[in-house]
Every structure is written in structure tokens, then in C-alpha cells.
Structure 1
Amino acid sequence: MAATATTLTEKMRAALRISSTSEKITEEINDCIAACKMDLQDVGVKKLEETDALIIRAITLYCKAEFGYSDKSEQFWKSYECLKMHLSLSSEYTGGVTPDTADDEVGEQDIKDLFG
């Protein structure tokens, strides 16, 4: 896992055009990666493989928006939000549970189970 995390950190460093290997900058990049993963988990994304192209792209967009890369933070943030929505609606990334497949209806058996 550590090797994968380092690889992802280095990918973000390259995407952000940061050549410094300062411990503080590396920590900030890693915090940004972790925050993105938590944000994706909050919308139901369970498949957070660091080798998955769409996950890498989402993390890249998130980091660029957070770091204010190239004065296009708002554009990167909107792109991230669109990709996040796509991932949250994809059963491949949510483990099969999406708003379309979730059973939100209360059935007769649900009422019997509730009131015994």
C-alpha cells in the first residue's frame, strides 16, 4: 500500500507541476489525496483503487482545485464535481448500490417487521 500511495503522491506532484520534495508539501499533497477519498466515500464510492484511471483523475482534479493550479480552480472543481457524481451513480464504483437501485419503497413486509 505504501508504494501505491507514494506513486499516487508522485503523480499528484507531477500533475501540480511541483518539483519540490519538501516534507511539508508532500504532507499537503497526501492530505489532499485523503480528503478527496473521503469526499468520494461520502457519496457512496467504495471502489477507491489508486490504480483506477477515473479515481486518479478525480484525485487529480480535486488536488488542482485545492492547490489553485493555473488560476483555474473553479473549472477544476466543477470537473471534479461532475466526475464525483458519475462515480456515485455507477454501480461499478458503489458496489451495486446507486440511487436507481436502492430500495426506498416501504413494503408490507417492512411494516410487519417494524410493528411485529
Structure 2
Amino acid sequence: MITAEQVRKKMRISHSRMDDDIASNIEAARLDMGRVGIDPEADDALVDKAVELYCKAQFDYLGKGEQFLKNYEGLRDSMSMAEGYRCGTR
């Protein structure tokens, strides 16, 4: 599972003062994915990418928060239709 430190590095943040906020957003992303039927315990690169996109959207990374949110929602919705990501199929 992606960590706050990993997300912070992907957003090129060099300090750890925002780690609590990032961790909260990671949890929110996983809960949101669970809401649409994605196994909240799923752990692979695609899930990590969805979490990264969610966090970038929440922090309006590079002023492109809306685009990151659209990308997250598209990936999340696609994953929700994929049998391998549905709750209880892993």
C-alpha cells in the first residue's frame, strides 16, 4: 500500500509537515473506492495510482486538481467494473 511519504515524494514535497493530511486523504481514497465496490484491501500499482491521483486532486497539485479528480474517477470507475478488484474476489 502506498504511504504518505511515497505520495509526498510524488508531489515533490520535501518536508513531512503534511503527512497527516496526506494520510487522511489516502484513507479517504480507499473508503471512496470501497464505496463503489473495490476491495479496500486491494494492494497493487493500479490501486496506488488511484490513491495518488486522489491525493493530487485534493491538494490541487500543479493547479490541476480538477483534471486529477477526473482521472481518479475514471480509473476508480473502471476498477469497480473489473472482477479482480471487486470485494471478495481477490
TM-score greater than 0.5 by the shorter chain = yes
Q: Name stretches of at least 5 consecutive residues in structure 1 with no aligned partner.
A: 97-116
Q: Distance in 1 between matches of 2:64 and 2:41?
A: 26
TM-score (norm. length: structure 1): 0.70
Show the 5 A alignment for 1:94-105: 94=86, 95-96=88-89
The structure showing larger relative contact order (alpha-carbon pairs under 8 Å, at least 6 residues apart) is: 2
Q: Give SS of 2:3's match.
A: helix
Instruction: Extract structure 1 runs of 4+ deviating beyond 6 A.
Output: none
C-alpha deviation, 1:8, in angstroms: 1.6
Q: Distance in 2 between matches of 1:38 and 1:91?
A: 18
TM-score (norm. length: structure 2): 0.89
**Between the two proteins, what is the percent identity of the paired residues?**
38
Q: For residue 88 of structure 1, what is the amino acid of its counterpart?
A: S
Q: Distance in 1 between matches of 2:70 and 2:41?
A: 20
Q: For residue 28 of structure 1, what is the amino acid of its counterpart?
A: D
Q: Give SS of 1:56's match.
A: helix
1:82 aligns with 2:77: no
